[in-house]
């Protein structure tokens, strides 16, 4: 496998990076929700935790029925079993990334996994 892969994303409603970048430890999507819209279903996961980062705009997350306001600069971890659904505000588009990784898969990291030169 090459030492790196690279792509440039545009303004599609949803971009998934796993295939494009040949990821092996995560699936990452970049999502645009127009004002007043939401993901059209509730879902949970069997084995994967998801980390959501709001990049622009505002809206809300509904996690196991709890409504949580979110806005640019907010980051959330959602446990696999939690039932989740995201919505843009009625008057604001919302851009967010969703990072899907296997729960408990990370061992050493940063100083514990890096080699410095």
User: Which residues bind to a copy of itself, rule: CB under 8 A?
Assistant: 1-10, 16-18, 21-28, 30, 41-49, 51, 53, 55, 61, 63-64, 68, 70, 73-79, 81-83, 97, 99-110, 113-117
Q: Is 103 exposed, middle or buried (0-12, 13-18, 19+ CB in 10 A)?
A: middle
Judged by DSSP in three states, 32 sits in strand
Please compute, for residue 8, the number of CA atoms within 13 A of its CA located in the half-sphere on the CB side.
Answer: 0
**Residue 72 Cβ vs a copy of itself, minimum distance, rounded to whole Å:** 9
Q: Compute the distance between CA of residue 81 and CA of residue 12 in angstroms, rounded to an integer.
A: 28
Residue 38 or 53: the one with the smaller Cβ distance to a copy of itself is: 53
Residue 35 or 63: the one with the smaller Cβ distance to a copy of itself is: 63
Residue 17 or 94: the one with the smaller Cβ distance to a copy of itself is: 17
């Amino acid at each position: 496998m090459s030492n790196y892969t690279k792509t440039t994303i545009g303004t599609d409603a949803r971009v998934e990076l796993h295939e494009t970048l040949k990821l092996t430890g995560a699936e990452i999507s970049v999502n645009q929700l127009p004002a007043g819209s939401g993901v059209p279903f509730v879902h949970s996961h069997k084995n994967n935790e998801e980390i959501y980062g709001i990049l622009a705009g505002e809206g809300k997350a509904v996690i196991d029925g709890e409504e949580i306001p979110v806005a640019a600069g907010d980051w959330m971890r959602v446990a696999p079993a939690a039932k989740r659904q995201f919505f843009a505000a009625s008057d604001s588009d919302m851009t967010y990334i969703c990072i899907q990784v296997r729960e408990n898969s990370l061992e050493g990291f940063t100083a514990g996994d890096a080699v410095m030169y």
